[in-house]
């Protein structure tokens, strides 16, 4: 492979010029666990802050397996593309590290979209922890935005934790649903519906049209029960058929309306600042936890304390104090 030793400047220049090879390699640096790669990635990200995502939109798209996320992303992406947006598709899928099969691994499911020059698709990074995957995706968003992609779609698997991570790296949260009422929520964890800014009942075509309307009614009721959103936005419930191309223009219009409302109210900028501070705190606390739980003294002590706590012989607060004291004393010695 030529040009293995690119400089930070070469990466930055390539990315700003929209060079897909430079972008792909930069993302690989971000995703790498190697400390030298990580150091390079951080330097690169600092170089690119002048090209920060002021006019970009980050949209999380989630839903249970089988809801048709790939074809929906293809349809919505094509629609945005037709209106001049440059589209990046990323994913948060912590299971990809285990199963090897990422939700975005199969690009053939987004055939038309992946053929376009104005589209960049990247499967979920493998990661040992969800926090790790989300962190890498967040940094990748900054890279694709620096490369001129102004609509970033972040696909997640719809089983809970990934959605919460996605909520902390995107501007708008879109939940895909199946036609039908009540039961179809089985695959969606508690709290996910309440996070959604847009709810879209997919597969609203043919014989399923009636069921889709029914689902729409149910979710309209559910959404009406939610407390008001700080931005003044009221969650919208729409129907569409990705495969038939029905209702997609309306979904894209609703996405844009939501984005405008978030911008007008100042909520978009405010939320991005809060997200930045969230990741600072999260990273600090993750670092503190790792140093603690990996410490030999803690690993020697904690199992017995946990057993005593579960048996009711020791209060969890007293146990915590014991192990914290031992940790502190041992570190001072080291």
Chain centre to alpha carbon of residue 306:
34
Task: Report which of 145, 185, 211 is spatially closest to residue 64, judged by C-alpha positions.
Answer: 185
Total residues in contact with its own copies, by rule CB under 8 A? 60
Contact positions with its own copies (CB under 8 A) in 80-119: none
Q: Is the dihedral of CA 90, 94, 95, 96 positive or negative?
A: positive
Say how far apart CA 197 and CA 177 lie, in whole Å. 13
Task: Report which of 195, 267, 194, 256 is spatially closest to residue 231, judged by C-alpha positions.
Answer: 267
Is residue 296 involved in binding its own copies (CB under 8 A)? no
Q: What residues contact 30, with CB distance under 8 A and at least 6 apart?
A: 41, 45, 125, 136, 139, 140, 143
Is residue 295 involved in binding its own copies (CB under 8 A)? no
Is residue 29 involved in binding its own copies (CB under 8 A)? no
**Biggest CA-to-CA distance, the chain:** 72
Question: Residue 122 in contact with residue 140, Cβ under 8 Å?
Answer: yes
Angstrom CA distances, 289 to 158, 282, 283, 295, 324, stand at 27, 10, 10, 10, 12
Question: Which residue stretch of 71-79, 110-118, 201-209, 277-285 sits at the interface with its own copies (rule: CB under 8 A)?
Answer: 277-285
Minimum Å gap between C-beta 311 and its own copies is: 8
Is residue 284 involved in binding its own copies (CB under 8 A)? yes
- Alpha helix locations (H) across 102-154? 111-115, 130-146
Residue whose CB is less far from its own copies, 252 or 262:
262
The single residue among 45, 61, 91, 212 that binds its own copies, judged by CB under 8 A, is: 45
Is residue 283 involved in binding its own copies (CB under 8 A)? yes
Minimum Å gap between C-beta 229 and its own copies is: 9
Q: Tell me, what DSSP letter sits at residue 241?
A: B
Residue whose CB is less far from its own copies, 257 or 328:
328
The single residue among 10, 42, 114, 243 that binds its own copies, judged by CB under 8 A, is: 42
Minimum Å gap between C-beta 97 and its own copies is: 19
Is residue 304 involved in binding its own copies (CB under 8 A)? no
Say how far apart CA 238 and CA 217 lie, in whole Å. 10
The single residue among 2, 108, 294, 317 that binds its own copies, judged by CB under 8 A, is: 317
x/- letters, 236..275, toward its own copies (CB under 8 A) = -------------------------------------x--
Residues found near its own copies in the complex (CB under 8 A): 42, 45-46, 49, 52, 135, 139, 142, 182, 185-191, 193-194, 218-219, 221-222, 224-228, 273, 276-277, 279-280, 283-285, 287-289, 291-292, 305-306, 309-310, 312-321, 323-324, 328, 331-332, 334
């Amino acid at each position: 492979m030529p040009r293995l030793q690119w400089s930070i400047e070469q990466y930055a220049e390539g990315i700003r010029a929209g060079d897909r090879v430079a972008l792909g390699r930069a993302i690989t640096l971000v995703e790498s666990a190697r400390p030298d790669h990580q150091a390079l990635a951080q330097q690169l990200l600092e170089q690119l802050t002048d090209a920060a995502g002021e006019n970009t939109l980050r949209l999380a798209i989630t839903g249970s397996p089988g809801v048709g996320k790939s074809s929906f992303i293809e349809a919505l992406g094509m629609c945005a593309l037709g209106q001049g947006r440059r589209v990046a598709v990323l994913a948060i899928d912590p299971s990809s590290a285990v199963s090897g099969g990422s939700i975005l691994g199969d690009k053939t499911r987004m055939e038309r979209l992946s053929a376009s020059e104005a589209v960049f698709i990247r499967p979920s990074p493998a990661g040992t922890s969800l926090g790790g995957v989300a962190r890498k995706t967040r940094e990748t968003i900054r890279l694709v935005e620096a490369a001129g992609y102004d609509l970033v779609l972040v696909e997640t698997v719809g089983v809970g934790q990934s959605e919460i991570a996605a909520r902390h790296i995107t501007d708008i949260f879109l939940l895909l649903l199946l036609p039908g009422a009540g039961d179809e929520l089985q695959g969606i964890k508690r709290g996910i519906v309440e996070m959604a800014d847009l709810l879209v009942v997919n597969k609203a075509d043919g014989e399923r049209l009636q069921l889709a309307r029914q689902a729409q009614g149910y979710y309209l009721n559910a959404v009406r029960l939610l407390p008001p959103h700080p931005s003044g936005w009221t969650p919208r419930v729409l129907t569409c058929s990705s495969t038939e191309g029905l209702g997609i223009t309306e979904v894209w219009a609703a996405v844009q309306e939501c984005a405008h409302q978030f911008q007008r109210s100042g909520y978009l900028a405010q939320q991005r600042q809060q997200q930045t501070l969230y990741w600072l705190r999260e990273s600090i606390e993750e670092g503190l936890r790792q140093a603690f739980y990996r410490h030999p003294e803690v690993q020697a002590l904690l199992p017995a304390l946990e057993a005593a706590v579960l048996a009711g012989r020791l209060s969890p607060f007293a146990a915590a104090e014991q192990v914290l004291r031992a940790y502190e004393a041992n570190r001072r010695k080291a």
